[in-house]
Amino acid sequence: MSETTAAREELGERAAALDAADPLAAQRKLFVLDDGVYLDGNSLGALPVHVPARVQDVLTRQWGELRIRSWGESGWWTAPERIGDRIAPLVGAAAGQIVVSDSTSVNVFKALVAATRLAGEGRDEILVDATTFPTDGYIAASAARLTGHRIVPVDPAGVPGALGDRTAAVLLNQVDFLTGRLYDLPALTAAVHAAGAIAVWDLCHSAGALPVGLDEHGVDLAVGCTYKYLNGGPGSPAYLYVAERHQAAFDSPLPGWNSHADPFGMTPDYTPADGSARGRVGTPDIVSMLTLEAALDVWDGVSVDAVRAKSLALTDFFLECVEAYVPAGRVTSATPAVHAERGSQIALRCAGAESVMGRLIARGVVGDLRPPDVLRFGFTPLYVGFADVERAARVLAEVLEETRRD
């Protein structure tokens, strides 16, 4: 038996044992999956099995039969806050602080402009993660132009040294979208507060994958999407967290009738609603929102700590399998090996990445490509197993061998 064959047998046996002992293994059957390996849940989560029937009810009964009555009888009007309270435990927040509405981009704008207003006079700088997802940077730059602030791009690790008495707000990603690096939310939030500024966090690549602790760590404002690890569906509405201590002073740059204290009064003057409802703007996207609400059922009884433990085990095992199967030098990990610095994805730099990912997908291993050279693999612990991980690494090695021969 060759060394490679022995390694495959040993890793395959370990994968089977790990799957057999996995406390989250039963969650897998709650999702629509095929015979492939789906490692792109950090872009779009898989469909929960029960969601289509729930959406059918929204369409045929709630909309088709009840029509306008559903705003009250089906709970449409209260959905943004109700679903926000469903998300709250997943990001470490008490009820009444999260509203589901709009897109992540719109919520970044709302949060960042409101943060500059909360910071008060004399502070004219907004620090922005220099490696951020591009839209966050675009929105921050626009918010700065509108509010008369100056943008200061900074690597998250350099935030403490860049803070000063001119800093109004800091916009950071808890997990970097490209590399999967996890940043120290507690320490960075504390540093922002020590400088008298407002901390705004983007949770798109962390919510549903690891503990966040918004309340515990004193985060001021946060935003996130729901179509990745929360499995809410393509384009599902995002959410906005406003810490309770800031709600009375939260001044949204997008006041709309839905966030008015008396929305049906139709008065020309704007009076903001109390609580998280201040984060609403216009009429919510009910079909998409109720799809998300149904999808969140898969979290019933699930511990985020258990999800984090499995996430780290999956990514550790993937890196081990890649090291065992892939010839040295063919790929290098851009994701930190240290657990405290790793989210729930692995980014591998690879020559010819576009061709490699295309071949992987053709062979049933679905990740994604970030040009020019990053193969990105997301590990969603609710439905990814250790046998999936071993297979993905093995197929990657086979594809790299094919490309070497071509």
Q: Mind telling me the catalytic residues?
A: 133, 202, 227-228, 376
- In whole angstroms, give the CA distance from residue 114 to residue 217: 20
Structure-block tokens of residue 137: 């940077």
343's tokens: 């989210």
Calpha distance 221→202 (Å, rounded): 9
CA-CA distances (angstroms) from residue 98 to 94, 195, 229, 250, 288?
A: 9, 26, 17, 13, 17
End-to-end alpha-carbon separation of the chain, Å? 27
ω before 372 within 30° of 0 (cis)? yes
Q: How far is CA 301 from CA 23, 106, 305, in A?
A: 12, 31, 12
The Cα 102–Cα 235 span in angstroms is 10
Rounded Cα distance between 56 and 49, Å, is 13
Enter the DSSP assignment of 133.
-
Of 235, 132, 232, 177, nearest to 376 by C-alpha is 177
Burial profile 366-388: b = 16 or more Cβ within 10 angstroms, e = fewer = bbbbbeebbbbbbbbbbbbbbbb
DSSP state of 125: E
Phi, psi for residue 127 in degrees, rounded to 5:
-85, 135
Q: What are the structure tokens assigned to 104, written together?
A: 């992540």
The two structure tokens encoding residue 385:
């197993």
Is residue 74 within 8 A of residue 294, CB to CB? The reply is no
